[in-house]
Structure 1
Amino acid sequence: MTEIVVYEVDKPVTTRSSTGSTTGAERRVRKVHVAPAAPGSRTTAGPRTLCGKDTFAMETARWTPSQEPGAPWYPVEYASVVCPECAAVIEV
């Protein structure tokens, strides 16, 4: 099975620079999940994460779970927001 890392993100927030100009929308990752790949695809997440959440509104990460033993399945910078239910399933 191929796993796809997906991000549960907050709604975009428009930020202003110190000069007062509006910059692009910034999205904060709220939770990192993992989902099986959709049937027939290696790059599209299936409809549900391993913890059962709908992936429709989630963003697919550019990160691909490492095939190296002992390496985490999630991007290290998001370690504090990894979904514990997904982690429990994938680490079995």
Structure 2
Amino acid sequence: MSEIVVYELDRPAATRSSTGSTSGAERRVRRVHAAPTAPGSRTATGPRTLCGRDTFAMETADWKPSERPGAPWYPTEHASVVCPDCDAVMET
């Protein structure tokens, strides 16, 4: 089975520009999950993460665990927000 890394993001927080108007929203990674690929696809995320969360509103990461032998399955800059349930499945 091939896994895809997905990000559960915080809701956008509007930012104010120097003119006082709201501009683009910044979304922070709340949790990093692993998800299987969709049946019949190598690039599409399946409907649920390995911990059972819905992937519909999650963002797919560019990080591909299979391309980095010996590295953790998640991007190291997000190590503090890795889903412990997904991590336990990935470690087995």
Normalised TM-score (structure 1): 0.88
8 Å contact from structure 1 (residues 30, 81) kept in 2: yes
Task: Give me the whole-angstrom Cα distance separating, in 1, the residues matched to 2:10 and 2:17.
Answer: 20
What residue in structure 2 maps to residue 63 of structure 1? 63
Are the aligned partners of 1:49 and 1:55 in contact in 2 as well (CA < 8 Å)?
A: yes
Residues in 2 aligned to 1:27 and 1:40: alpha-carbon distance in whole angstroms: 31
What secondary structure, in the 3-state scheme, does the structure 1 residue paired with 2:65 have?
coil
| C-alpha distance in 1 between matches for 2:42 and 2:22 | 37
Larger deviation: 81-90 or 21-30? 21-30
Query: Size of the alignment, in residue pairs?
Result: 92
Structure 1 alignment gaps of length 5 or more:
none
Identity %, equivalent residues: 76
In structure 2, what is the equivalent of residue 17 of structure 1? Answer: 17
Query: Residue 32 of structure 1 aligns with which residue?
Result: 32
Alpha-carbon deviation of 1:18?
4.1
Question: Are 1:90 and 2:90 counterparts?
Answer: yes
More helix by share: 2
Query: Is the contact between residue 66 and residue 72 of structure 1 (CA under 8 Å) also seen in structure 2?
Result: no
Distance in 2, matches of 1:90 and 1:67, equals 15
TM-score (norm 2): 0.88
**2:53 match:** 53
